Amino acid sequence: MTEPSSRRIEVSVLARVEGEGGLEVSIRDDRIEHLALRIFEPPRFFEQFLVGHHYSEIPDLVARICGICPVAYQMSGVSAIERLFALDAPRDPEGDSKKHSGAPHSEPETGRNSQTDKGPYNPPGSRPDSQRNSVSGSQRDSELAPWVRRMRRLFYCGEWIQSHALHIHLLAAPDFLGFDSAIAMAASHGDELRRGLALQAFGNRIIALLGARSVHPVGARVGGFWHAPALSDVAAVAAEAERAVPAAEALLRWTAALPLPQQPQHFNCVSLRHPLEYPMMAERIVAESGLDISVDDFEAHFSEHQVPHSTALHGLLEGEPYLVGPLARVNLNQDRLHPRVQALLTELGIDFPSHDMAQSVIARAVEILQAALEAAEILADVAPQTPAYAELAPRAGIARGVSEAPRGLLWHRYDLDADGLIQQARIVPPTSQNQARIEADLAQTLTRIGLNADADRLRQAGEQVIRNYDPCISCATHFLRLTLNR
Amino acid sequence: MRDPFPALDPKPLTVIGLGSPWGDDRVGWCLADALAERLSPHQARVLKLDRPGPALLAYIADLQHVVLIDAAVVTNTRIGAIQRLSIDDLATRSVATRNADTSSSHGLGLADTLALGRSLGMLPLALDIYVISIDPMLTRQTGLELTPALAVAMGPLADAISGMVIE
C-alpha cells in the first residue's frame, strides 16, 4: 500500500504587491488540502477611527487609507454623503427607480433599463436631455453641478492612469516577459518602461492639478473642490494630455502583443454601470450573473466574512466569489468605451468579455487609453468656477456611496447623526472582494500546472497569479473582528 | 512622451526632501523648508515629496544636479547621523532596512527607484543622496516637532547644501 504523500508550498512574503501578504498551499495525495492567501499586515482600524468625526473630514481621512488610490476613497466618501444630503450638484444623472432586473447583464440591452441606459459612449459629464435642466436650486448650482462632475471624472482619470501604469510596467510586465523585476527588464524594454513612467507621471499631474499633490491629495471636499485649478495649470496638463493619448494607444498595442498565457476560468464579474459613461462614479451595481441593484442595496447581496489566515475580510456575492477591477469593468461596460478605444480593440482583434485573467493587463491598458482620451477632452474645456463647491446642510441618516477604484468596486457606508457626526462606518475595498476569487484562481492554476511540479515553479506561478490582481493589501487590512474568551 | 532631446533645467540645483507628514520621517521636509528660506527660486528649486516611489523619476530625470534628502533607519549609527551615499551604498543599506520590517510600497523604495532610473538613463547628471538616521520607533510619533538630535543635525547639512549654490 502506498503511503499518502504530502507537501507544502509557501511564499513567505509576496513581492511586488502593495502591503504584506503571503501564500500557503498544502498538498496531500495530489490534491490541494489547504490554500490560503495570507494577509498578515496588521489591521488598521480606519472604520473605527472615523467614528466621532464630522462628515466634512471624510475626504482627508479616507485618503490616508491608500497611497495608490486615495482619489477613489475620497470619491466614494463624498458620493455617500452627497447622496444622503440629496445634493444635486455632483450626483449621477440616474434615478433610483430601477429595481433588480434579474436579467443577465451581458444580454442585449433591449428592454433593459430603457429609461436610463442611453446606449453607447457619450462624452464625459453629459446628461440625458430629460435631466439637463433638472438641477434644483440657484442658477449657480446648475452651473456648478456639471462642472464638479467633470472635474471629479478628470481627477479619477488621473488615478486610473497612474495606478494602472505602475502595475502594468513595474509589477505585471516582468512576469509576462520572464524577468525578475522591472530593473532587470530595463535593458531590453527601456522605451516601454520610460513610456510607462511618463504615463504614470501624467496621471499624477492630473491628481495634483485638482488635489494639490498626487499622494493623499487634499483638494476634494463634500460638495465639490476647495477651489478650481488655475487655467494656466490646466493648459499645461492639457498639453501633456495631447502627448499621453498616442502613448496610451501605443501601450494598448504593446499589451495586446505580450506573450500572455491562455487560461480561461469561470467567474462572475461585478462593476458599476452608468447610463452614459464608462463607470467611475455611478448608482447601479451590476454583475454578469444578472444582478442589477442600487448602491443602497449592496449589503443585501454582498457579504463579508473573516477567515483565520487573513486580517482582511473575504467578500462574496450571494455566497460565491466574484471579480472586481479592470477586467470586470471592461467585460461589463465595453459599450461605454470611447469610440477610439473600441476602434483600436477591433483593429487589434481583441474581444471582450474575456474570462482569462491574463487579459487583465490588456484591460488596464484599455482603461489608460479611455482615461487619457477623456482627460484630454475635459482638459480642453475647463471653465473657471468660483466657488468650486456647494455648501450642504447635514442631516441624520445612512449615507452609502460607491466608485470604481483602479482595483475595482469601493463601497462606503456612514451612519450620521443630525450634527453630521459619524456614528458608524463601513468600507469595503476591492482587494477584500477579490480575495476569494484569487484563492479560487490559485487552486485552478496550480492544479493545471500539476501539483507534482517543482516547488519553485508552483511558488512562482502562485505569486504571478496574485500579482495579476494588483491586490492592495494595505487597503484591505483595515478590519479585525476580535473575540476574547476568558 | 519623453522628449529625446530635453532642454536641461536652467536652475543648477534641485533639492528634494523625501518623507511623510509626521514624526522624524519628516526631517527631509524640514530641511527642504529651511533651504527654501535660504535660497532664492533662481538659485535652487526646492521640493517636498511624500513617499513618491518610482514617480520620483519624473521629478529628477533630465536635471543637471539633484540633492535628495531622506530619513533612514541605519543600524549602528546615532540618531541624527548624516551620511552621503552612492546609489550602490543605498541599495546595500536598503536590504538591511527591509529586513527590519520597513519595506516600502510595492517593494519599490528609493534604492530600487534610483536603480531603475539608472538602467533607464533617467538620472540627473549629478545626484547627491543624503540620509539622516532616525529611530524607527519615533517615526510613528504624531507631532510636528523633530527629535532634538535631528533638529541639531539639520543645521550643518543645510549649510553644506546651500554652500553648493553660493559657491
Predicted confidence at residue B137, as pLDDT, reads 73
For B80-89, write each residue's pLDDT tens digit: 999 898 888 8
List the single residue in A with minimal CA-CA distance to B50.
A215
Query: Taking a contact as any Cβ pair under 8 Å apart, which residues of chain B between 28 and 57 contact chain A?
Result: 49-55, 57
Predicted confidence at residue A215, as pLDDT, reads 79
pLDDT class of B20 with cuts at 50, 70, 90: confident
Cα–Cα distances in angstroms (integers) from residue A372 to residues A333, A341, A464, B3, B76, in the given order: 17, 11, 28, 19, 48
A213/B50 Cβ within 8 A: yes
- Which SS3 state, helix, strand or coil, does residue A429 take? coil
User: Which residues on B lie below 8 Å from A18 (Cβ)?
Assistant: 105-106
Mark out chain A residues that contact chain B at CB-CB < 8 A.
Answer: 15-18, 20, 67-68, 162, 166, 170-171, 181-183, 186-187, 190, 193-195, 197-202, 204, 213-216, 240, 243-244, 247, 474
pLDDT class of A223 with cuts at 50, 70, 90: very high
Specify the CATH number for the domain of residue B74: 3.40.50.1450
Return the percentage of chain A with pLDDT > 90, whole number.
62
Mean per-residue pLDDT, A29-44: 78
Give the minimum alpha-carbon distance from B157 to chain A in angstroms, rounded to a whole number: 27
Give the minimum alpha-carbon distance from A356 to chain B in angstroms, rounded to a whole number: 24
User: Which residues on A lie below 8 Å from B106 (Cβ)?
Assistant: 16-18, 166, 170-171
pLDDT class of A134 with cuts at 50, 70, 90: very low
Distance CA A110, CA A118 (A): 11
> Is residue B54 situated within a structural domain?
yes
CB distance A289 to A268 below 8 Å:
yes
Phi, psi angles (nearest 5°) of residue B44: -160, 150
Q: Return mean pLDDT, chain A.
A: 84
Cα–Cα distances in angstroms (integers) from residue A399 to residues A48, A64, A144, A270, in the given order: 16, 20, 22, 21
Return the percentage of chain A with pLDDT > 70, whole number.
82
pLDDT class of B94 with cuts at 50, 70, 90: low
Closest CA to A93 of A145, A138, A153, A137: A145
Per-residue pLDDT at A265 exceeds 60: yes
Q: Return mean pLDDT, chain B.
A: 82
> Is residue B8 situated within a structural domain?
no
Query: Which member of B1, B50, B119 has the closest CB to residue A186?
Result: B119
Query: Which member of A170, A214, A244 has the closest CB to residue B54?
Result: A170
> Is residue B1 situated within a structural domain?
no
A197/B57 Cβ within 8 A: yes
Query: Which member of A162, A194, A204 has the closest CB to residue B2?
Result: A194
The total number of structural domains in chain B stands at 1
Predicted confidence at residue A8, as pLDDT, reads 77
Distance CA A331, CA A344 (A): 16
Predicted confidence at residue B146, as pLDDT, reads 87
User: Which residues on A lie below 8 Å from B115 (Cβ)?
Assistant: 183
ipTM of the complex model: 0.82
pLDDT class of A65 with cuts at 50, 70, 90: confident
CB distance A262 to A350 below 8 Å:
no
* For residue A353, cis peptide bond before it (omega within 30 degrees of 0): yes
> Is residue B91 situated within a structural domain?
yes
A60, A166, A180, A183: which to substitute to probe chain B, counting the most B Cβ within 10 Å? A183
Q: Which domains does chain A have, with CATH numbers?
A: 46-437 (1.10.645.10)
> Is residue B95 situated within a structural domain?
yes
> Is residue B20 situated within a structural domain?
yes
User: Which residues on B lie below 8 Å from A163 (Cβ)?
Assistant: none
B55/A162 Cβ within 8 A: yes
Task: Say which amino acid occupies A146.
Answer: P
For A402-418, write each residue's pLDDT tens digit: 999 999 999 999 999 99
Give the minimum alpha-carbon distance from B166 to chain A in angstroms, rounded to a whole number: 30
Q: Tell me which residue range forms the domain holding B90.
A: 13-166
* For residue A387, cis peptide bond before it (omega within 30 degrees of 0): yes
Predicted confidence at residue A4, as pLDDT, reads 57
List the single residue in A with minimal CA-CA distance to B51.
A215
Phi, psi angles (nearest 5°) of residue A115: -80, -30
Q: Which of A9-23, A268-282, A341-355 comes out lowest in average pLDDT?
A: A9-23
> Is residue B4 situated within a structural domain?
no
For B47-78, write each residue's pLDDT tens digit: 999 888 888 999 999 899 999 999 888 777 88
> Is residue B93 situated within a structural domain?
yes
> Is B146 or A279 the better-scoring residue by pLDDT?
A279
Query: Taking a contact as any Cβ pair under 8 Å apart, which residues of chain B between 2 and 21 contact chain A?
Result: 2
List the single residue in B with minimal CA-CA distance to A196.
B1
